C-alpha cells in the first residue's frame, strides 16, 4: 500500500466546512485569503437550508468561490440539523486519510468535540468564528481566527464620511467596519518569553509565536492593530527588545526577542 506523501515540500491539503447558519457571507473573501496561508482548500462545502431566503447572501458568492452547498432541511423548528450533517461529512473526510487539516467555520460550540476528535487523529484544525464564539471551541482548535478580522480590509476602501455607524440602513457596510484594536497582552507575552528563553533570555521570534498559539489559539497580532507579530513587538519597545541576527535558511531575517523587564530595561 502506498504511503501517505510527505507534505514538507508542498502545501497542506485542507477541507473547509462552513456552517452557513453561523457565519456571515461578508467574510468569504478574507476567509479564503486567510486559508491560503495555511494550505490548499481541496474541499469547500457549506451547510444550511437553501430552500429559504435566510441564506441569500451566501447564494450570491458560492459559484465565485467554488463552494459546494449541502442541503440540510430544518426538520424541527429551533433545532439546527446543519451541525449533524457537517460533523458526519467531517468524519467521512477524515477517514479518507487525504487531508492534513480542517477549517471549521462557525461560532457554534457544538463543534468543540469535532475539533478535538480531528486533532486526536493528528490533523491540524483551524477554527473561524466571531468573537462571541465560546471559549471551549476556540481552545479545541490548533489556531482560531476571529472573522471580524477578516472583514476589516473592506473598511479601508470606504470613504471617511459617513462613519460606519452612520451608513445607510441595510447596505451592510457597518458590518464590514474594522474592529477596535484590543489592548496588547504584555504580561502574557512576557511570561511566555520568560518560560522559554535561553540562558541569555533571548527567544527566536518564530518559537515565541508558536508557543503563544499553543497557549492561546485565538491570539492574532491583527486583534491589536498589527499585521505581524514582529510589528507588535516593535511597537512594545518599552517592554520587549527585538534583535536581528543574520538570515534564516529561507533568506528572511532571523529575529530574536527578550523581555526588557527581566533584564533591567
Q: Whole-structure pTM over 0.95, yes or no?
A: no
Quickly tell me which residue has 457597518 as its cell: 174
* Secondary structure of residue 135 in the 3-state scheme: helix
Strand partners, 103: 16, 126
Residue spans of alpha helices (H) in the chain = 28-35, 56-59, 82-94, 112-120, 135-140, 147-151, 186-196, 205-215, 229-235
CATH code, residues 12-176: 3.40.50.1010
How large is the greatest C-alpha to C-alpha distance in the chain, in angstroms? 64
Within the chain, all domains assigned CATH 3.30.420.610 are found at: 186-263
Percent helix, strand and coil across the chain, each rounded to 5? 40, 20, 40
- The confidence band for 222, taking pLDDT boundaries of 50, 70 and 90, is very high
Residue 165: per-residue pLDDT: 42
Question: What DSSP character marks residue 179?
Answer: P
Going by CATH, does the domain composed of 186-263 fall within 3.30.420.610?
yes
pLDDT tens per residue, range 32-74: 999 999 999 999 999 999 988 889 999 999 999 999 999 987 6
Nearest to residue 70, comparing CAs of 51, 88, 50? 50
pLDDT tens per residue, range 123-150: 999 999 999 999 999 999 999 999 999 8
Please give the grid coordinates belonging to residue 146: 476571529
Name the CA radius of gyration of the chain, rounded.
Answer: 21
pLDDT tens per residue, range 147-166: 999 874 443 433 334 444 44
**Residues near 180 by Cβ (< 8 Å), separated by ≥ 6?**
none
Please give the grid coordinates belonging to residue 87: 460533523
Quickly tell me which residue has 529575529 as its cell: 255
Residue 37: per-residue pLDDT: 93
Residue 178: per-residue pLDDT: 54
**Residues near 258 by Cβ (< 8 Å), separated by ≥ 6?**
193, 197, 200, 201, 202, 203, 240, 241, 243
Q: Residue 169: left (phi > 0), alpha (psi -120 to 50), or beta?
A: beta
pLDDT tens per residue, range 236-264: 999 999 999 877 666 677 899 999 877 66
Half-sphere exposure (CA, 13 Å, Cβ side) for 32? 17
Q: What is the rounded average pLDDT of the residues 22-31?
A: 94
Residue 261: per-residue pLDDT: 76
pLDDT tens per residue, range 173-189: 344 455 678 899 999 99
Within the chain, all domains assigned CATH 3.40.50.1010 are found at: 12-176
Amino acid at each position: 500500500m502506498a504511503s501517505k506523501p510527505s507534505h514538507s515540500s508542498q502545501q497542506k491539503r485542507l477541507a473547509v466546512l462552513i456552517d452557513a447558519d453561523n457565519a456571515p457571507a461578508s467574510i468569504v473573501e478574507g476567509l479564503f485569503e486567510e486559508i491560503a496561508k495555511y494550505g490548499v482548500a481541496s474541499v469547500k462545502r457549506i451547510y444550511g437550508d437553501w430552500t429559504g431566503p435566510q441564506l441569500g447572501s451566501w447564494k450570491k458568492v458560492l459559484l465565485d468561490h467554488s463552494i459546494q452547498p449541502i442541503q440540510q432541511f430544518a426538520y424541527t423548528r429551533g433545532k439546527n440539523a446543519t451541525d449533524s450533517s457537517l460533523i458526519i461529512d467531517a468524519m467521512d473526510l477524515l477517514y479518507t486519510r487525504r487531508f492534513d487539516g480542517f477549517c471549521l467555520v462557525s461560532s457554534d460550540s457544538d463543534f468543540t468535540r469535532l475539533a478535538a476528535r480531528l486533532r486526536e487523529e493528528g490533523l491540524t484544525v483551524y477554527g473561524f468564528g466571531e468573537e462571541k464564539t465560546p471559549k471551549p471551541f476556540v481552545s479545541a482548535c490548533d489556531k482560531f481566527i476571529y472573522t471580524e478580522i477578516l472583514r476589516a480590509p473592506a473598511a479601508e476602501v470606504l470613504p471617511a464620511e459617513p462613519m460606519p455607524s452612520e451608513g445607510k440602513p441595510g447596505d451592510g457596510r457597518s458590518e464590514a467596519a474594522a474592529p477596535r484594536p484590543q489592548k496588547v497582552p504584555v504580561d502574557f507575552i512576557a511570561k511566555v518569553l520568560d518560560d522559554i528563553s535561553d540562558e541569555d533570555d533571548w527567544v527566536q521570534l518564530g518559537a515565541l509565536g508558536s508557543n503563544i498559539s499553543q497557549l492561546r489559539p485565538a491570539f492574532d497580532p491583527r486583534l491589536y492593530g498589527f499585521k505581524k507579530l514582529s510589528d507588535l513587538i516593535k511597537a512594545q519597545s518599552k517592554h520587549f527588545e527585538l534583535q536581528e541576527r543574520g538570515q534564516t535558511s529561507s533568506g528572511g531575517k532571523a529575529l530574536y526577542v527578550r523581555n526588557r523587564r527581566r533584564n533591567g530595561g
